[in-house]
Amino acid sequence: MPERFTIRVANTDIAFACDANTTILDAANAAGFELPYSCRRGACASCRGLVRSGEIETPYPGDIYVLFCQARPKTDLEIVPREIRPIDPAAKSTIDAKVLRVVEAADDVRIVQLRFPAGVRAKFKAGQYLDVILDDGERRSFSMANAPQQSDVAVLHVRVMKGGRFSEQVLPGLASGSLLKIEIPSGDFWLRDSAKPAVFVASGTGFAPVKSILEDALRKKDPRDMILYWGARREKDLYLADLPKKWAAQNPKFRFIPVLSEPEPGWTGRTGFVHRAVMEDYPSLAAYQVYACGVTAMVEAARRDFIAERGLPPDDFYCDAFVTPADLKT
């Protein structure tokens, strides 16, 4: 039997048990408490917090911030998470959603429109994601691209991955009327109340949750300045570029900068890595919030470089890293 320890949460009367083989995030969940998280795999830092006393086992020794999805206790601990709240069992729904249509938005991007059964609605925050539950119980995460006011549908932007079980094997067989089991919602990627201007950095289908957030914020006439950098390889990979262009034309507080890493001849816009384009434009990010979403390498580079080289406060970086099994092998 692994040794069991007590984890106390600073400035609260919350305490829970955690054994030496279990992560602090999993133990908190098992005890009925929710800590912020996204990837659960050490890539996004959504679960970061501090350990005020005690010792932990972690793949990242020496970091001031501890990733609670990776850290296991070696002693009793006192921790300082960014947030903690009791899990609301009614907050998530499992739904047999009906496929309305699947649209080919780019060579390797499909827009999947799902409709919930009559009378079923799913409450979610703009920016959150759902899990598609496959026949054998395996899950795949996809962000809602629609704004939360449309609570009887979910629109997904799915990148087709070579060898991908859902995107390459299941998705081509889906037609109007097919059923998909989903669990909705999850995730910690949503717009925080703040007077700080917000910089959004998306790569590829990382545009999906950003679209949801921006449509929601623009509809609510959020007064802050917002700017979107959307990166892809070629122009045609920016599969809905007309939409942010339209938002920019209609909203003086919003700007859109497309960035291509492998532009075709004739492209006169920005080039290179999308997070580098942000750094070229902002000598300091100290007074900003950043919302980054997309491939893990971009999200990790953005977090590292914005904090180290542009003075972004770590607590003002929010992200969803689109972790895949391939990332876990690197």
Ligand X SMILES: Cc1cc2nc3c(=O)[nH]c(=O)nc-3n(C[C@H](O)[C@H](O)[C@H](O)COP(=O)(O)OP(=O)(O)OC[C@H]3O[C@@H](n4cnc5c(N)ncnc54)[C@H](O)[C@@H]3O)c2cc1C
One of 5, 9, 42, 77 touching ligand FES (CB under 6 A): 42
Is the dihedral angle over the CA atoms 259, 261, 264, 270 positive or is it negative?
positive
Task: Verify binding: residue 45, ligand FES, rule CB under 6 A.
Answer: yes
Under the binding rule (CB under 6 A), the answer on residue 326 touching ligand X is: yes
**Residue 315: CB minimum distance to ligand X, A:** 20
State the minimum distance, in angstroms, from the CB of residue 34 to ligand X.
15
Is residue 44 a contact point for ligand FES (CB under 6 A)? Answer: yes
DSSP for 58-120 reads -SSTT-SSEETTT-EESS-EEEEES--EE--GGG-EEEEEEEEEEEEEETTEEEEEEEPPTT-
Considering the complex, state which of residue 44 and residue 147 has its C-beta at the smaller distance from ligand FES. Answer: 44
252, amino acid identity: P
46, 143, 146, 203: which one contacts ligand FES (CB under 6 A)? 46
Pick left, alpha or beta for residue 20 (phi over 0 → left; psi -120 to 50 → alpha; otherwise beta).
alpha
- Reduced to 3 states, what is the DSSP secondary structure of residue 190? coil
Q: Which does 274 bind (CB under 5 to 8 A by kind): ligand X, ligand FES, none?
A: none
Q: Residue 202 has which token pair?
A: 């998306």
Write the single-letter amino acid at 297: A
Q: Rounded to the nearest whole angstrom, what is the least distance from the CB of residue 318 to ligand FES in the complex?
A: 12
> Which range, of 88-96, 227-235, 257-265, 315-323, touches ligand X by CB under 6 A?
315-323
69 contacts ligand X (rule: CB under 6 A): no
State the maximum Cα–Cα separation within the chain, in Å, rounded to a whole number: 65
| Listed ranges 44-52, 102-110, 252-260, 298-306: which one lies at the site for ligand FES (CB under 6 A) | 44-52
Judged by CB under 6 A, does residue 205 bind ligand X? yes
**Under rule CB under 6 A, which residues in 18-37 are in contact with ligand FES?**
37
Strands 139-143, 93-106: pairing is unpaired
Footprint on residues 61-120 left by ligand FES (CB under 6 A): 67, 69
SS3 131: strand
Min dist CB 43 to ligand X, Å, is 8
Q: Is 229 in the site for ligand X (CB under 6 A)?
A: no
Find which of ligand FES, ligand X, none residue 256 binds, CB within 5 to 8 Å per kind. Answer: none
Helices (H) and strands (E) in the chain, counts: 6, 21
Q: How far is the CB of 216 from ligand X (least distance, A)?
A: 16
Q: Is 61 in the site for ligand X (CB under 6 A)?
A: no
142 binds ligand X, rule: CB under 6 A: yes
Smaller CB separation from ligand X, 165 or 196? 165
Residue partners of 179: CB distance under 8 A and separation at least 6: 96, 97, 98, 99
Q: Which residue is nearest to ligand FES (CB)?
A: 69
φ, ψ for residue 202 (rounded to 5)?
-125, 145
Backbone angles phi, psi at 244, to 5 degrees: -60, -30
Total residue length of the chain: 330
Per CB under 6 A, residues contacting ligand X are 38-39, 129, 140-143, 157-159, 161-167, 187, 205, 208, 320, 322-326, 329
